[in-house]
Amino acid sequence: MTRRSVDWQAVTAKLLAMRHALEDLQLIGVDLGWWEQPQASGDRTDVPSERIKALAVERILILVVDLAVDINNHVAAAVLREVADDYKLTFPLAAKAGMISRELADKLAPSAGTRNILVHQYLDVDPHRIVLAASLAVEQYGDYVRQVQAYVQNKSGGR
């Protein structure tokens, strides 16, 4: 693998996109109470606005994980000369590169599995599981954005 440098502008642009996606999750109002009050049919997903909200949440979760994986592999390739061929394995690489803490990497790695379930529609996903994943994403990926932003500031000279 040839040596390449980190494209700080690309990393910063992806962090901004991730921050916006996380803000969108908050605007949607993702919380566990979202699914608690069934409609007459007994299933909130029978209401078109709720189905649209659920699809938006799923798409945002996929986007956030994809952005993180792109950042992880890009930095790992430049700094460590390593890339992962599995989404989950990019998080330990990000920690190894010093971009995020090992603790955060361990928390975020399972989100790759959630992303795969959503993308490939492996099974009928429990809406409560998606709401929980979204709530965790706001918190944990918020930490990711802060840690990676600090790394970028430190390594890029504030560019």
pLDDT at residue 31 in the model: 54
Give pTM, 2 decimals.
Answer: 0.84
Conformation bin of residue 89: beta by default, left when phi > 0, alpha when psi is -120 to 50: alpha
Give the active site residue among 120, 128, 129, 146.
120
Query: Is 128 one of the annotated active-site residues of the chain?
Result: no
Tell me which CATH homologous superfamily contains domain 8-33+40-156. Answer: bsu32300-like (1.20.120.580)
Structure-model confidence comparison of residues 128 and 146, the more confident one: 146
CA distance linking residue 75 with residue 77, whole number of Å: 5
Helix (H), strand (E) at residue 17:
helix 8-28
CB atoms within 10 A of CB 23: 13
Give the active site residue among 59, 115, 129, 146.
115
For 123-143, how does the pLDDT look when each residue is reduced to its tens digit (9 = 90+)?
Answer: 566 667 777 788 889 999 999
Query: Is 20 one of the annotated active-site residues of the chain?
Result: no
| Lookup: tokens for 46 | 């029978």
For 87-113, how does the pLDDT look when each residue is reduced to its tens digit (9 = 90+)?
Answer: 999 999 999 999 999 999 999 998 887
